[in-house]
Amino acid sequence: MSAIVHRPLGGKVVTKPFLILGLFVLIAAYFIARRFLFGMGDVSNMNNGFPIGTWVVLDVVIGTAFGCGGFAMALLIYIFNRNVYHPLMRPALLGGVFGYTLGGLAVMVDLGRYWHAFHLLMPWYAQPNSVILEVGLCVMAYITVLWLEFWPAFLERMPLGFKQRYGLDKLQAFLKRYMYVLVALGVLLPTMHQSSLGTVLLILGHKLPPLWNTQWLPLLFLSSALAMGYGVVMLEATLVNRAFNTPSEVTLFARLSRVAAGLLIGFSVLRWADLLHRGQLGAAFAGDLNGNLFLIESVLFIAPVFVLLSARRWSQRWQFIGATCILAAGSLYRLDSYLITLEPGNGWTYFPSAPELLITIGIVCLEIMLYLLFIKTLPVLHGGAAEPHGRPS
């Protein structure tokens, strides 16, 4: 990374919130053990009408969209050369590292024949038409890229003598020199799999209502994932800033908010134009559950635009509200299209069981714990002591 000074936050790692999060992780571990001993039916309400449930939809589909901070910032900083945002890069990357890695963990819990998971990597099993194969390979590759991109944070922390003894200083130089290749991959791979997470839904055919079932799903999923990426960077930074009294990034976010707003506008225009063209506008205003969900989504997607483009974007509070709104919009969009509006027929219904949700919650808690551990012990956040930034008003 360039001229940015990153510093470990320091402070006690094992705090009260940390322990509470740990409790949820333990509860999840208990139910995960039960899932492997007695089968998925023991802890989950998934059934053959709704064969994928919260583990995939919350932890993978929504979870990796939350992990798009690194993707979104890399696109802005390295591809569009907006160096001003550089201080935001590494924390965003760390969010991506955990969002994706733990999404991968959730997949291992969810796979019905997990001991065959390595078949995904065996070319002789590959089925090239499968969108799921593409998503799986892409996500695995991206997890690797994310960790490699994050490696410098570990290396910077190591004593120079130690690095020299094991040749790690050369690795550090190598990574630094060819970081641009990793960065490019780190933009390409999420572009591919975040759009493919939309393509996956096309196979549902009549099971997915027309309000959601469009051939533009790949682009809609990609653009909303990017918007969520900017949203999550704003949210994370605001929370960290409030919790640990770090320098505020309000000014940077006021600029970033215009990018996010542009994406939201693009998404909404595409979605409504497509709806109009397919003659499904009536379905949106039908007043039934699906229509109303669609309208709620649309409001959530558009409302932040009014925050992000107005003078309110200079206030940390409004930034926080705008970011939350984007994340809610993207999450509801994914939840609706993957689960809530799904009509498998034959009387199938689904509502997640408590143990099933506790596994999902535990995985998210683990993610937050690791994030806290990392920002406290590794140089992730940029240390602004040398150049004090403005405090939030």
Distance CA 60, CA 94 (A): 17
**198-217 positions binding another protein, by CB under 8 A:** 199-200, 202-207, 214-216
Supply the minimum distance, in Å, between the C-beta of residue 320 and another protein. Answer: 29
Which is nearer to another protein, 116 or 317 (by Cβ)? 116
Supply the minimum distance, in Å, between the C-beta of residue 22 and another protein. Answer: 27
**42-81 positions binding another protein, by CB under 8 A:** 42, 44, 46-49, 51-52, 77-81
Which is nearer to another protein, 163 or 312 (by Cβ)? 163
Distance CA 358, CA 149 (A): 31
Distance CA 379, CA 87 (A): 12
* The token pair that represents 101 in the structure block: 């890695």
Q: 362, 23 in Cβ contact below 8 A?
A: no
**110-139 positions binding another protein, by CB under 8 A:** 110-114, 116-117, 119-120, 122, 125-127, 129-134, 136
Q: Which of 36, 162, 174, 306 binds another protein (CB under 8 A)?
A: 36
Supply the minimum distance, in Å, between the C-beta of residue 365 and another protein. Answer: 25
**217-236 positions binding another protein, by CB under 8 A:** 218-219
Region for residue 263 given its phi and psi (left: phi exceeds 0; alpha: psi -120 to 50; beta: otherwise): alpha
Which is nearer to another protein, 275 or 326 (by Cβ)? 275
**140-179 positions binding another protein, by CB under 8 A:** 156, 179
386 binds another protein (CB under 8 A): yes
Q: 45, 282 in Cβ contact below 8 A?
A: no
192 binds another protein (CB under 8 A): yes
Q: 223, 194 in Cβ contact below 8 A?
A: no
349 binds another protein (CB under 8 A): no
**289-348 positions binding another protein, by CB under 8 A:** 344-346, 348
Binders of another protein: how many residues, by CB under 8 A? 86
Which is nearer to another protein, 22 or 344 (by Cβ)? 344
Q: How far does Cα 325 stand from its chain's mean position?
A: 15
Supply the minimum distance, in Å, between the C-beta of residue 321 and another protein. Answer: 30
Q: Which of 12, 14, 16, 37 binds another protein (CB under 8 A)?
A: 37
Cα four-point dihedral sign 156, 162, 163, 164: positive
* The token pair that represents 201 in the structure block: 């839904």
Alpha-helical (H) ranges within the chain are 16-38, 54, 63-66, 69-74, 89-110, 131-157, 160-165, 168-177, 179-199, 217-244, 250-277, 281-284, 289-308, 316-335, 354-377
194 binds another protein (CB under 8 A): no
Distance CA 206, CA 342 (A): 9
